[in-house]
Structure 1
């Protein structure tokens, strides 16, 4: 009888709908990245990243549209692998980190698309300006990790127009936009 009750209880628990789980973005293990690329005068690509950021997300595979994410970036951590250029990127010509030391992204809605892809809408605050952006995103995977935890990973891309965020430096039409690439791996809390 006990075995029958246990089996019935387990079956009932498995039939319960899944619920959203909260995840912390794994920046300590370097399993998340905020990177960018911009055309250098139309002749080549300049790549960079932000080394310091934090965030979290709430994710439910069964109710993707109810999922949420928030991210805070330390803009002074910009790293293009060139010290003098990074100093210029931190100046008022670009990121103005003395006045605006952080950039934030807070999701406002998620629109599911085909398979594991979706449009992530949210407010990006950069250089003191808040604008709605849409990130074309995809779920990369989820599951147990070797350390007894559970992880979920996502990647997304969006293109920002520099003047929309009051970035005054004009490097010509080929350099008026920047592609922002995000890869996040979260650890379920």
Structure 2
């Protein structure tokens, strides 16, 4: 009985938190993707897409400090269009998907820039290493005009240092900086 009471308390806390931030929802599978671009001397040389991305997003544009975001990426869902490159990037010297099947992002601070834009600071974990990152995000529709049941499409960008995460320390065919582009829809 005590377990049921504790579970009910936790669930009501989760729903109460979610109710305070609008829109609240999850990333819609099939409509969300995370892609990367690696460059050499500033020229794009490699790119790919992670097909399996999941997340929970609670956004409050009026009070962004109440917002929370958590995204999980299945690292093995990467595809670049070339099997040899896929194998290399998924391999032990790069993402090491056998030992690290997911990468995660958890927001820590969200600030509103304008009517549709946010700066999201949080922690990115890849290969078991966690580093701070800053994400620039923009809603593609006016969040105030979204009604229950309507999706809110968005796009976001960030970047990270490969060496900060221990990715391809001995790989010199691409620059250290990797750019990420995120697009998707939040379902309420």
Query: TM over 0.5: same fold?
Result: yes
* Structure 2 residues without counterparts, runs of 5 or longer: 1-18
Contact 2:45 2:174 in 1 (8 A): no
- Given the two structures, how large is their TM-score scaled by the length of structure 1? 0.80
Q: Alignment partner for residue 26 of structure 2, among 3, 18, 24?
A: 24
Relative distance call for 1:172 and 1:25 in structure 2 (3 A) is same
CA shift for structure 1 position 171: 3.9
Contact 2:33 2:52 in 1 (8 A): no
Give the 4+ runs in structure 1 shifted more than 3 A: 40-45, 169-174
Find out whether 1:155 has 2:151 as its counterpart: no
Distance 1:160 1:134 in 2: 9
Relative distance call for 1:44 and 1:119 in structure 2 (3 A) is closer
* Structure 1 residues without counterparts, runs of 5 or longer: 1-17
* Count of residues in Structure 1 that have an aligned counterpart in Structure 2: 166
Corresponding residue for residue 74 of structure 1: 74
- Given the two structures, how large is their TM-score scaled by the length of structure 2? 0.80
Corresponding residue for residue 100 of structure 1: 100
What SS class does the counterpart of residue 55 from structure 2 fall into?
Answer: strand
CA shift for structure 1 position 77: 0.8
Distance 1:186 1:126 in 2: 24
Relative distance call for 1:66 and 1:104 in structure 2 (3 A) is same
Corresponding residue for residue 175 of structure 1: 175
Distance 1:120 1:175 in 2: 25
* Structure number with larger C-alpha Rg: 1
